[in-house]
């Protein structure tokens, strides 16, 4: 039996495999709210333009509201035979109001309809994600304010480099997430143009008002080229790119939680709410939430690479290949929402071990740069000469198994005679972090001020 939505061109129905590969309703039913909103805007515009009678427009609007209620209540029956959300809604509308439902599709195509629905969905998703990232930044900035002076080792190459504060380290992620939010809002701004009315690819001969439907749906303007309107998926690619960069940042933080919470580091601990146990080792407390944040990053990357691959060889305008844009996007979006919420939960739950971090901050001769800076500042040595002198002093400390501040003044003077007792003021980790007062530096007063400034901005 032919699909009644296609009319007379097809004399028989599709093969079962054809129906299975062609159907998208299992995943694009997510677009139901956006599809109904777009149809209501389109019907109202058709009536205003005299293309549709006021009576038919009213019946369509009422029928669409009924369908929305049915979907929300879970009583709507989705049919794979009707392929997608658009045809499922239209078929049910015909059952509710009769032949007037057939007038709704005047002046549009499923090509511009799906592009409109998907832009509306992505726009809503980006707004929600921006709010979630605000909450994550707030959790991190709160911890930074509370632990602005907790000294810990700063690392390069995962080797102790220079002392920093725990608050300073956390604020680095607040800055990264701020850039992520900027990319998300840039993507939102660029996607906020309406494809509706571009029809299949060439526009329509009906006297439609695309500006009106664009305004009704909250778009800034209609898209200016009908071919581009139905074939563009830049907005999905750009969103997935932004999500991928965000996922990199969240995965890096998750990795640090895994490392920091290990017994070997013991810098932080997580409560039972964010850890799991072992089926055989009763002593274990595993940071599974952080590990899964790392893993789900791969799903987000995969969605981006997958859609880039789908789009790379498509001629203008629409091809059915583009149906493969939604399922990976939905999966990536679900993963992104979950990892943002999980990282926010862990960020608020972290309990830093100040004593352990401070002890580690002093290991590995982490104040060697402070010694070199002191030699430059107080003795006037060129930095490269100061670097060489400091290296010899570190070598002496290492050979004798002592920290720098455990060396005697006489031992250091044997390497550089002009060194004075004042050198010991820069060799402790507390003094080291306090000295880093340059803008963006780790000095506790800097960190506290930055954390409070961030919390003020985020509250707005």
Q: Over the stretch 55-69, which tens digit does the pLDDT of each residue have?
A: 999 999 999 999 999
Radius of gyration from C-alpha coordinates of the chain: 31
The helix/strand/coil state of 166 is helix
Size (the chain), residues: 460
- pLDDT category at 277 given cuts 50, 70, 90 is low
pLDDT band at 405; cut points 50, 70, 90: confident
pLDDT on residue 274: 86
Percent of the chain with pLDDT over 70: 95
CA distance 348 to 318: 46
Q: What is the pLDDT of residue 1?
A: 37
User: Chain centroid to CA 330: how far?
Assistant: 13
Give residue 193's pLDDT: 98
User: Which residue in 34, 25, 110, 4 sits closest to 76, CA to CA?
Assistant: 25
Q: Over the chain, what is the mean pLDDT? A: 92
**Region 344-362: what's the mean pLDDT?**
94
Does residue 41 register a pLDDT over 90? yes
pLDDT at 117: 97
So what's the pLDDT on residue 23?
78
289 sits in which H/E element: helix 288-311
Tokens 């509306």 identify what position? 120
Interval 349-355 mean pLDDT: 96
Highest mean pLDDT among 180-189, 312-321, 408-417: 180-189
- Mean pLDDT on 94-104: 96
The rounded Cα 78 to chain-centroid distance in angstroms is 31
Catalytic site residue from 157, 205, 408, 438: 157
Measured CA angle at 325 (ends 323, 327), to 5 deg: 95
The answer to whether 278 is a known catalytic residue is yes
* Angle between helix 326-349 and 110-146 (nearest 10): 10
The pairing of beta strand 193-194 with beta strand 221-222:
parallel
pTM for this predicted structure: 0.89
Please, where are the H alpha helices in 1-159? 16-22, 25-28, 32-48, 54-73, 85-97, 110-146
Asked whether the predicted pLDDT for residue 158 surpasses 70, the reply is yes
**pLDDT for 10:** 55
Cα–Cα nearest to 455, from 121, 135, 117 = 135
CA distance 98 to 100: 6
Whether 157 sits among the annotated catalytic residues: the reply is yes
Q: Please tell me which residue in 53, 271, 278, 425 is annotated as part of the active site.
A: 278
Residue 2 pLDDT level (bands cut at 50, 70, 90)? very low
DSSP-derived letter for residue 14 is: P
Q: How many CA atoms lie within 13 A of 280 on its CB side?
A: 0
90-94, 267-271, 403-407: the lowest-pLDDT one = 403-407
Q: Which of 443, 440, 416 is nearest to 429 (CA)?
A: 443
């Amino acid at each position: 039996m032919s699909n009644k939505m296609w009319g007379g061109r097809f004399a028989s129905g599709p093969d079962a495999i054809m129906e299975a590969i062609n159907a998208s309703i299992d995943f694009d039913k997510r677009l139901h709210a956006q599809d109904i909103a777009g149809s209501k805007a389109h019907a109202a515009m058709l009536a205003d333009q005299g293309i549709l009678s006021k009576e038919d427009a009213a019946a369509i609007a009422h029928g669409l509201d009924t369908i929305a209620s049915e979907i929300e209540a879970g009583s709507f029956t989705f049919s794979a035979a009707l392929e997608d959300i658009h045809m499922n809604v239209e078929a049910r509308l015909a059952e509710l109001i009769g032949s007037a439902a057939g007038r709704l599709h005047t002046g549009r195509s499923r090509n511009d309809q799906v592009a409109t629905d998907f832009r509306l969905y992505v726009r809503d998703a980006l707004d929600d994600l921006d709010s979630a990232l605000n909450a994550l930044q707030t959790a991190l900035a709160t911890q930074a304010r509370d632990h602005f002076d907790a000294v810990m080792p700063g690392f390069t190459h995962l080797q102790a480099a220079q002392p920093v504060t725990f608050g300073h380290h956390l604020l680095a992620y607040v800055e990264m997430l701020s850039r992520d939010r900027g990319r998300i809002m840039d993507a939102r701004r660029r996607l906020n143009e309406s494809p509706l009315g571009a029809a299949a690819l060439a526009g329509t001969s009906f006297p439609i008002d695309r500006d009106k439907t664009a305004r009704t749906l909250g778009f800034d303007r209609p898209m200016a080229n009908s071919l581009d309107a139905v074939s563009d998926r830049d907005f999905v690619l750009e969103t997935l790119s932004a999500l991928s960069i965000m996922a990199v940042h969240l995965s890096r933080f998750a990795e640090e939680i895994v490392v920091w919470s290990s017994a070997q580091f013991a810098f932080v601990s997580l409560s039972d709410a964010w850890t799991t146990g072992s089926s055989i080792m009763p002593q274990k407390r595993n940071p599974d939430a952080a590990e899964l944040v790392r893993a789900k990053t791969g799903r987000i990357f995969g969605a981006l690479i997958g859609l880039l691959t789908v789009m790379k060889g498509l001629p203008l305008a629409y091809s059915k290949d583009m149906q493969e844009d939604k399922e990976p996007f939905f999966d990536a979006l679900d993963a992104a929402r979950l990892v943002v919420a999980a990282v926010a939960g862990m960020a608020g739950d972290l309990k830093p071990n100040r004593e352990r971090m401070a002890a580690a901050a002093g290991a590995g001769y982490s104040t060697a740069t402070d010694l070199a800076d002191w030699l430059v500042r107080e003795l006037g040595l060129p930095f490269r000469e100061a670097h060489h002198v400091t290296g010899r002093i570190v070598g002496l400390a290492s050979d004798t198994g002592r920290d720098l501040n455990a060396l005697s003044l006489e031992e250091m003077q044997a390497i550089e005679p002009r060194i004075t007792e004042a050198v010991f003021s820069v060799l402790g980790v507390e003094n080291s972090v306090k000295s880093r007062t340059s803008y963006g530096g780790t000095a506790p007063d800097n960190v506290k001020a930055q954390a409070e400034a961030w919390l003020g901005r985020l509250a707005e």
